[in-house]
Amino acid sequence: MATTFRIVCSIVLLIAVVGSASAQGTLRNVSTLPVANYSLTISPWENHYQFPPVSVPSGTVLTFLWNNDDHGVYLVENDQCPDAYTPGKGGQQELFPVTSKTAGVSNYTTILKAPGLYHFVCQEGTHCLQGQRILITVFNSTQGIPGAVQTYAPGPQTGSQAGVAGAAGPTSTSG
C-alpha cells in the first residue's frame, strides 16, 4: 500500500512538472536546472523479489543495499536480461561488481543526474531473470524536494518484471 502511494505521488509530481513546463511555453536549459534533494534506497537488493518501476527527480541519490549474498549492480540498455554481461556491449556498464557471501552488508550509491530511463539489474547468475532488476525513470527537477528520503522494500516476486528501454548511466559516488 505504501509503495503504491509513493509511486502515485511520483506520477503526480511528474505531471505537475511537465504541466508547468508546458504552461510556460519554453523549457530552460537542462544544465541550469537545480538538482533535487531526494534519496531512494532499494533494500533488500536481492533475487526472488519483484521491483516495480519508480520515477524520481534528477539529482536523486540512489542506494542499493544487500546482505550476505552474491549480488552486484549492472546498468543495461533495455528491459531484457542480457545473455552475457559484457561492459560496453550494447551500453552495458558494471557499476558494482558481485560481492561474496562473506562480505556482510554491501551497498552501491549513485546520483541520478540526467533525465532518462535507467534499468538496473544484478549480474550474478540468473538473478536478473528471477526478478532482481528495476527500472527507474528520472525526470527534470525544477525544485528540490527538501529532505525527501524514501526506502523502497519490494514484495516477494510473483512473476517476471518487465521494464522499458534504457538510457545513459548514472554518476557513481561510492562503491
Q: Are 133 and 48 in contact (CB under 8 A)?
A: no
Instruction: Using pLDDT thresholds of 50, 70 and 90, give the confidence band for residue 167.
Output: very low
pLDDT at 70: 87
pLDDT at 30: 36
CATH topology of domain 2-23+36-172: Immunoglobulin-like (2.60.40)
pLDDT at 54: 94
User: What are the residue boundaries of the structural domains of the chain, listed by start?
Assistant: 2-23+36-172
Calculate mean pLDDT across residues 139-149.
Answer: 62
Instruction: Using pLDDT thresholds of 50, 70 and 90, give the confidence band for residue 103.
Output: low
C-alpha cell at 29: 536549459
CA atoms of 99 and 11, how far apart (whole Å): 34
CA atoms of 90 and 84, how far apart (whole Å): 11
| pLDDT tens sequence across 54-78 | 999 999 999 999 886 789 999 999 9
CA atoms of 7 and 48, how far apart (whole Å): 21
Whether residue 8 is predicted with pLDDT greater than 60 in this model: the reply is no
Higher pLDDT, 173 or 40: 40
Pairing type for strands 171-172 and 105-112 reads antiparallel
**Bridge partners for 94 per DSSP:** 74
CA atoms of 139 and 67, how far apart (whole Å): 30
pTM recorded for the entire structure: 0.63
| pLDDT tens sequence across 17-56 | 333 333 333 333 333 344 447 899 999 998 888 899 999 9
CA atoms of 80 and 83, how far apart (whole Å): 9
